Amino acid sequence: MTRYIRTADDGRITDTQTDQPAGDDWIEISELAYLSDAAPDGHEAIRYYKPEAEEPDDGWGIESETLGKQFVEA
């Protein structure tokens, strides 16, 4: 299964689509588990497309080859 993502200038994922959208500013992703909003209790997840993002100083909370999540207190 594939999803399509759109990112902000800092690599943060701002939108996801299940069907291929029109336009060339969408990125095809197959690592769906890392697209969820799941986070530890009391935290929220911020999802990033790693090729366009800077790694956080304390590292990624969880990551795949192309996606990274940072967990911040809610």
Q: Over its length of 74 residues, how does the chain's per-residue pLDDT go in tens digits? A: 899 999 999 999 999 999 999 999 999 999 888 899 999 999 999 999 999 999 999 999 999 999 999 999 99
pLDDT of the residue at 31: 87
pLDDT of the residue at 2: 92
Is residue 51 within 8 Å of 66, Cβ to Cβ? Answer: yes
How many residues comprise the chain?
A: 74
Query: Number of C-alpha atoms within 13 angstroms, CB side, residue 27?
Result: 20
Q: Is the pTM of this model over 0.85?
A: yes
Chain centroid to Cα 14, Å, comes to: 8
Strands laid side by side in the 43-49 sheet: 43-49, 67-73, 62-63
pLDDT of the residue at 39: 95
